[in-house]
Amino acid sequence: MKHVRISGRRLAAVAVTVVLAATGGTLTALPAVAAPAATKEDPQQTTVAFPLNADVVGAGPSGFLSKTRGNAPEFRWTRYADGSSTVLPGAAAAGGGADLVVTGNRALLSVSSVIRIHDVSKPAVTSVEIDLDALGDYDYSGLADDTLLLGKYEGGYRVQYAATLDEAVLAGGTPKLRKLVGGPLVDCAAADEAWTDTASALYDCSIGETRGPAKIHVDLATGAQSWHVQEKDQWAWDGGGWGIYDRVVSVGNVAGGSEPDSIARDRSGALWLYRGTGDRNAPLAGRTSIGGGWQIYDRITGGSDVTGDGRSDVLASDKSGALWLYPGTGNANAPFSARKKIGGGWGIYNEITAVGDLAGAPAGDLLARDKAGVLWLYLGKGDGTFAARTRVGAGWGTFAGLTAVGDANGDGRADLLAWNGDETFYAGTGDWRAPFEPGARVSLTQDSSYGTVF
């Protein structure tokens, strides 16, 4: 089955023909092409039901992709021809200009380990699952028309690949990957809106020994590249170079100072320490190397004192499901002592968060969310181990991440922030049996002032 490519202008023309009706919560789809001149009849309109509280997030030749608002979005493909629609299961979804939609098993496609490709060209939607870890530890980068874009780390550099979603792949065959860009001294990640409906992709890259910034544009059909080396002040770079890291964690005071510190893992697996300064204009000092080999971990968290010695510790779960403790030393030159294995079986969780003392005991506690969205509490014993888990509740899978924020509201108890575009603040109660008050919707990254939130 051939997927027709749709250009940006044509896609815009289709979008223009879809207008909101004055009443009834429906869309009225008008023909994109006028009726023949010899015909005296008026163009016919087709009323298409539109999901309430939803936004259009993609489109193709035969229909459009919508996403409902809220913590548990529903993704639905609606057809222009007759208004029929199909719900596409998944925690995240995207389209790329063709009648194909990709959904992921996590709230962000970029961190999804399993994706599904849905062929929505016909009412009988067919789907195929791709396990990105089994394929070769790839990450989702984008979908351009009928081309799937993936990235992975090779030798400390991020390399970008593409695979055409042809009939063989859509029937369950293994995608045939071709390298696009990246390799030694060329470290490339997908730029914002990196993929287009013109069968090309744009990447943010660091090149050379000095890791100078560059934009690299790749033609997906021919592989031809166009490099745009950036000079100072060209294009804005959020975080001033922090894009080299794939994990950044605030871990409390691990270096012996008076301010909380942060650690960052680069794409080669090296871990770096940024000491807190207490200066709001320059909150972190220059980085110092902690060591390599941290790429074996898929979850890293810190900020809790789980050993009871008054110093913050770090916990990390590896890809085999083992949980490891790195006790804090208070020494900036060697902030952690040798790791200690806490136990196995942690692969069932897709999020772990060291939240400090939730239950009023002397040691820090740990929250873990399983893949079904259930949140569990592990109470710290104060010796680097945890008591048996207790269930906090279900429904936490709607959040992309959970962040411990300490005592944010000044009541002496540890709190939690859950985020997925919007943020939800959970005030701590001090009671391990019900550790949080009901969530309160906040907008810390948008227009809420600190005083109105806490």
pLDDT score of 136 more than 60: yes
Q: What is the pLDDT of residue 6?
A: 35
What are the beta bridge partners of residue 313? 304
CA distance 176 to 315: 37
Task: Tell the burial category of 198 from Cβ atoms under 10 Å away from its Cβ (0-12, 13-18, 19+).
Answer: middle
Q: What is the pLDDT of residue 133?
A: 92
**What is the torsional sign of CA 110, 442, 248, 339?**
negative
Residue 283, token pair as written in the block: 């909150």
Residue 209, token pair as written in the block: 């020994």
Lowest mean pLDDT among 117-131, 236-250, 418-432: 236-250
Residue 227, token pair as written in the block: 């490099």
Q: What is the pLDDT of residue 3?
A: 39
Q: What is the pLDDT of residue 212?
A: 76
Report yes or no on whether pTM surpasses 0.85: no
Task: Kindly report, residue by residue over 404-432, the tens digit of the pLDDT.
Answer: 888 777 788 888 888 776 688 898 888 88
Lowest mean pLDDT among 205-214, 237-246, 291-300, 343-352: 237-246
What are the beta bridge partners of residue 86? 77
Residue 141 phi/psi, 5-degree rounding, is -115, -35
Mean pLDDT of the chain: 80
Coil/strand/helix, residue 234: coil
Q: Please compute, for residue 140, the number of CA atoms within 13 A of its CA located in the half-sphere on the CB side.
A: 25
Task: Kindly report, residue by residue over 152-198, the tens digit of the pLDDT.
Answer: 988 878 899 999 999 999 999 999 999 999 988 888 887 655 555 55
Task: Tell the burial category of 321 from Cβ atoms under 10 Å away from its Cβ (0-12, 13-18, 19+).
Answer: middle
Q: Please compute, for residue 340, the number of CA atoms within 13 A of its CA located in the half-sphere on the CB side.
A: 14
CA distance 266 to 289: 11
Decide if 145 contacts 98 (C-beta within 8 A).
yes
Torsion of CA 391, 397, 402, 407, to 10 degrees: -50
- For the chain, the residue count is 454
Task: Kindly report, residue by residue over 328-357, the tens digit of the pLDDT.
Answer: 998 888 999 999 999 999 999 999 999 888
Residue 44, token pair as written in the block: 């016919």
Decide if 364 contacts 305 (C-beta within 8 A).
yes
- Which amino acid does the sequence have at 2? K
Q: What is the pLDDT of residue 444?
A: 55
Task: Kindly report, residue by residue over 387-403, the tens digit of the pLDDT.
Answer: 999 999 999 988 888 88
Coil/strand/helix, residue 45: coil
Percent helix, strand and coil across the chain, each rounded to 5? 10, 45, 45
Q: What is the pLDDT of residue 20?
A: 31
User: What's the chain's Rg over C-alpha atoms?
Assistant: 25
**Largest Cα–Cα distance of the chain, in whole Å?**
87
Instruction: Please name the residues in contact with 402: beta carbons below 8 A apart, sequence gap of 6 or more.
Output: 351, 353, 367, 369, 396, 416, 417, 418, 419
